[in-house]
A and B are shown apart, each in its own frame.
Chain A
Amino acid sequence: MIFNEVYGSYYNVVAEVLAEAVNGTLSKERLSEITTRKAFGESIVTIPDALIKQKWPLIDENFETPLNHKPTMPLTTIQKMWLKAILQDPRIQLFEPSMEGLEDVEPLYDQDTFIYFDRYADGDPYEDIKYGEHFRLILSAIREHRIIRVEYQGHNTRKERTIIPHRLEYSAKDDKFRLIGIAHTGTRYIINLRGVKKCELMEKFAPDRFNEAQTDANEVVIELKDKRNALERAMLSFSDLEKETIKIDDENYRLKLKYRVDDETEIVIRILAFGPMMKVVEPASFVNLIKERLNKQKGCGL
Chain B
Amino acid sequence: MAYSELIKNFEKIRDYMRDFYVYGFKTRTDFDAKSARSYDNERRRVESWLSDYMSFRQDANGKQMFLSVDSRSIPHNPLYKAYKAKSFTDKDIILHFYTLDILMNGESLNAGEIAERIAVDYLGFFDTDILPDDSTIRNKLKEYASIGLLKAEKVGKEIRYRRVESDITDARLLDAISFATEDNPAGVIGSFLLDKYEAIPEYFSFKHRYLLDALEQEILIQLLLARRNRKCVEITFKPRASDKKHVSKLYPLKIYVSTQNGKQYLMAYSYKGRRSKMYRLDHILKVNALEYEPDHEKYDSYEQKYAAFLWGTTDGWRRDREIEHVELMVHIGDNEEFIYSRMLREKRKGTVERIDKNTIRFTADVYDALELVPWIRTFIGRIEKLDSNNKSFVQRFYKDLDDMYSMYGGDGDDI
Contact = CB atoms under 8 A, between A and B. Distances in A.
Interface of A: 1-12, 14-15, 18, 40-43, 46, 50, 54-58, 60, 65-69, 71-83, 85-87, 89, 91-92, 95-98, 100-101, 106-109, 112-122, 139, 142-143, 167-175, 178, 180, 229, 231-233, 235-237, 239-247, 253, 258, 260, 269, 272-276, 279, 287, 290-298, 300-302
B136 interface: no
Contact of B176 (A97, A143, A170): A97
Contact of B70 (A113, A143, A242): A242
Interface in B237-276: 240, 254-263, 267
Contact of B381 (A69, A86, A171, A293): A293
Given A95-B172, A98-B170, A139-B203, 11 more contacts: A57-B122, A67-B101, A68-B101, A79-B193, A89-B184, A95-B179, A169-B204, A172-B209, A173-B259, A235-B24, A275-B403
Given A98-B172, A297-B383, A69 B186 contact: no
B210 interface: yes
Contacts of A108: 186, 221, 224-225, 228
Contacts of A302: 383-386, 398, 401
A18 B93 CA distance: 12
- Most A CB contacts (10 A, CB to CB) among B66, B126, B398 go to B126
A247 B57 CA distance: 12
B176 A95 contact: yes
Contacts of A291: 408-409, 414-415
A167 B22 contact: no
B145 to A, nearest CB: 10
B66 A244 contact: yes
B380 interface: yes
A274 B86 contact: no
A298 B345 contact: no
A8 B382 CA distance: 53
Contact of A235 (B4, B22, B375, B407): B22
Contact of A40 (B59, B85, B170): B85
Interface string B169-190: 0101101110110011110111
Given A7-B195, A302-B383, A246 B68 contact: no
B373 interface: yes
B183 A170 contact: yes
Given A40-B81, A298-B405, A239 B210 contact: yes
Q: Which bracket fits the contact residues of B?
A: 35 or more
B285 interface: no
Given A98-B173, A109-B227, A173-B260, A71 B85 contact: no
B109 interface: no
Given A66-B122, A76-B147, A114-B255, A57 B312 contact: no
Interface string B117-134: 000011111101010000
Contact of A2 (B83, B256, B267, B403): B83
A294 B263 CA distance: 30
Contact of A171 (B207, B377, B408): B207
Counting from the closest, the 10 A-B pairs by CB-CB distance are A77-B148, A276-B403, A296-B381, A97-B173, A273-B374, A293-B381, A66-B125, A5-B88, A41-B48, A95-B176
Contacts of A292: 381
B166 A74 contact: yes
A295 to B, nearest CB: 6
A237 B374 CA distance: 12
B407 A113 contact: no
A65 B94 CA distance: 12
A106 B85 CA distance: 28
A212 B12 CA distance: 40
